[in-house]
A and B are shown apart, each in its own frame.
Chain A
Amino acid sequence: MIKNISNLGDAALYCDFGKEVNKEINTQVIKYFKTIQKKNIIGVNNITPSYNKLIISFDLKKINFTKLKKIIDNIEIIKSDNIQNKKFEIPVCCEKEFSLDIKRLEEKLKMTEEKIYENFFENEFFCYMTGFIAGMPFLGDLDENLRAKRLDTPRVKVPKGSIGLTEQFANIYTFESPGGWNIIGNTPLNIFDSTKEKEPNLINPGDLVTFKRISKENYQNYHE
C-alpha cells in the first residue's frame, strides 16, 4: 500500500510504497498504476511506476495536488486476478562478441562462466518497470550469487539487444545507448518497436521473463 503521498514540484504526486524493493511491493505499485491508468483521470499526463514509487504527473491547468491526492487516497484498487501478466522467453546468444563483461563477472563473482550462465538461464524474472530508455525492462531478481556492481566507467555505447546485469536486476538495451551494466549476451528479438502505435514495448511491468540460450547460428538466422 501507499505509505505516503507528497508533492514532487507543483505538478506531480510522489507516491511512496516504502524503502524495500521486492516483488510484493512492486506488485502493489503496478496494481495502483493499472488502476489509475484505467480511471483516465482528467489532467493526469503520466503515471510512472518504479520499484517502490509511483509518480503521477499532471497538467496544472486542469487539476492540482490537493484534488488529485484526494482521488488517489480514495481509489479502490482492482483485484489482482484482473491484472494479466504475460510470460516471455527471450532468446540470448552468449558468444564472445556479445558477452562483453563475462570475464569481469567471473572475477568479481569468483564464479566460472558456465556457472554464471547456468544460474542466469535457470531463473525466472519479474518485470519491475520499464523505462530510462524507451521499452527497457528492469527484471529481477537475480540470484544472490550473481549480484555485481555497475562498471566503474560506463560504456559510451552499449549495443542494441545487450543483456546487462547489475545488483539484483537484469535489463535489455532496446537501443544502442550509453550504459554501465555488465553485458553477458545479446538477443536478436526486437524488444521495442517504435512503429507500433499501441504497445510498442514487448515486456510490461508485472510480466514474467525467462531467457533461453541460443547458438550463434540461431542468432543469425533470427535476423533473416
Chain B
Amino acid sequence: MSKNYFEIIRAGINSTFQDLGRKNLYHIGIPFSGAMDNRNYLLANKLIGNDHNDPVIEFAYQGPHLKYHGDKLNIAITGDVSFKIKKGDNLTDGKCYQTFILENNDELNIISTNKSVYGYLAISGTFDLKLQWSSCSTNTRANIGSNNGAKLSDNQKINIKQINQNLSITKLNYVNTKIENIRVIKGTNFNYFSDEGKRNFFKNEFKVSKLSDRMGMRLEGQKIENIIDTNIRSEGLIKGVIQVPADGNPIIMLSDHGTIGGYPKIGVVISADYDKLVQLTPGSNVKFQEVDLNSAETLFKLYELETQNLISQI
C-alpha cells in the first residue's frame, strides 16, 4: 500500500483523471479526451511545478472531498472554484491559482465550481496510475483510461507514487473571463441550411441544455431548418464541430465525442474559444459569431501568447 494517499470522502459529480489526451487513435474509434479546459489544466500543473502533461483530477460542478494521508504535499486548484481546507479544527477558504500545503489528516473539500463547469486539482507529486495508450485521460462512456476508465467513487483511495520536494508557495493573479460570443468558422455543410436558418444561427442566442457532458454540448433555441438532407455519409469529426440533426437543435462535439458522425456540420468552434465554450453551464446563453480562417489563426496566436504570459508569471 502506498504511504501517501487521498481517501475520497465524497467523489463529486464527475471527477476523472485527465492530461493532454491521446492522439492518433481516431481512425479506430478512440476519442482524444484530455482536460476540457486546456488553459486551466496547464496552469494547475505549472503552479505546482509539474510537467505540462502530468495527470490532474478534473471535476465538474461539485468536486471531491478528500482526506489526505502522508508526507507534506503541495496542491493547486484552477478554474472558478469554491473549496475549503481543514487542518484539525481549523477550516479555511481556499483560493484558486495559489498553492496550499496539505499535511497528514488534512481535508480538502472542493465544494463547487462557480458559474462554470470544470475545475482542476494538481498535486506536487505523481498519482499512481495505469496509463492507457500513453494517457491517463478517462473516458467514462467508453471505459478508457486510468481508474479502470471510471470516474472517482466514494470511499476509494487515490495513491500517490512519489512526492516532489517542491513545497514553495506560488500564486498567480488570474481571473477567468466570461465570454459572450463563441466564434465559429462555417462548416463543410453550411449550405445544407435555409437562408433563414443560417441567419438565425449567427443572430439568435442558444441555450445550453442540461444534456451536456464531456462528449457533447446540446443547444436549444430556434430550430435550424435543413433544406438538403438531414443526414450525410458518416465521416470523421473533430472537437468543436457543430452538427445539426433532423430536430434542428445544434450539438457541439466536445473532447470525448464519437469519432465519426453523420449529421450535417453547420460550423466549427475556433480553437481559441474552446476553453471558454466548455465552461458554459447548462441554462446559460450562447451566441455564435462568424470568423474566417485567418482571424481564427490570429486569435489562436493571441490565446497562446496569453497562456504563455500567464505561465511566465508563475
B241 on interface, CB distance cutoff 8 Å: yes
Q: Taking the nearest CB of chain B, how far is it from the CB of A135, in angstroms?
A: 6
Q: CA separation between A61 and B20, bound complex, in Å? A: 14
A131 at the interface (CB under 8 A from B): yes
| Contact A46–B270 (Cβ < 8 Å) | no
CB < 8 Å neighbour of A8 from B30, B32, B238:
B238
Task: Using A6-B188, A9-B268, A10-B296 as known contacts, say yes or no to A194 and B304 having CB atoms under 8 A apart.
Answer: no
CB contacts (< 8 Å) of B32 on chain A: these are 45-46
- Assembly CA distance A61 to B271 (angstroms): 10
- Residue in contact with B26 in the complex, picked from A9, A47, A65, A192, CB distance below 8 Å: A47
Judge whether B114 is part of the interface by a CB distance below 8 angstroms: no
Tell whether, in the assembled complex, residue B27 and residue A132 are in contact, meaning their CB atoms are under 8 Å apart. no
Min distance, Cβ A48 to any Cβ of chain B, angstroms: 3
**How far is A128 from B304 in the complex, measured between Cα atoms in Å?**
38
Is A99 positioned at the interface, with any CB of B under 8 Å from its CB?
A: no
Considering only residues 266-294 of chain B, those with a C-beta below 8 Å from chain A are 268-271, 293
Question: Is the CB–CB distance between B185 and A10 below 8 Å?
Answer: yes
Interface pick from A49-57, A101-109, A207-215:
A49-57
By the criterion CB–CB under 8 Å, are A10 and B270 in contact?
Answer: yes
Any A CB within 8 A of the CB of B227: no
Q: Would you call A48 and B297 a contact (CB within 8 A)?
A: no
Q: Which of B62-70, B204-212, B257-265 lies at the binding interface?
A: B257-265
Tell me if A77 counts as interface (CB < 8 A to partner B). Answer: no
**Chain B binder among A78-86, A111-119, A197-205:** A197-205
- Residues on B with C-beta less than 8 A from A53 are 233, 235-236
Complex alpha-carbon distance, A129 and B233, angstroms? 12
B29 touches A135 (CB 8 A): yes
List the A residue with the shortest CB-CB distance to B261. A132
Determine if B28 is an interface residue (Cβ-Cβ < 8 Å): yes
The residue among A11, A14, A64, A65 with the most chain B CB atoms within 10 A of its own CB is A11
Q: What are 7 A-B pairs with beta-carbon distances under 8 A?
A: A46-B24, A48-B260, A60-B271, A129-B27, A134-B30, A192-B28, A200-B28
Not counting A8-B241, A48-B259, A53-B233, a sample of 10 additional A-B residue pairs whose C-beta atoms are within 8 angstroms of each other reads: A10-B300, A50-B233, A53-B236, A54-B236, A64-B297, A134-B28, A135-B28, A135-B29, A175-B143, A197-B133
Using a CB–CB cutoff of 8 Å, the interface residues on chain A facing chain B are 6-12, 14, 21, 33, 37, 45-55, 57, 60-61, 64-65, 129-136, 138, 174-175, 192, 194, 197, 200-201, 204-205
Residues of B within 8 A of A (CB): 23-30, 32, 132-133, 142-144, 185, 187-188, 233-238, 240-241, 258-261, 265, 268-271, 293, 296-297, 300, 304
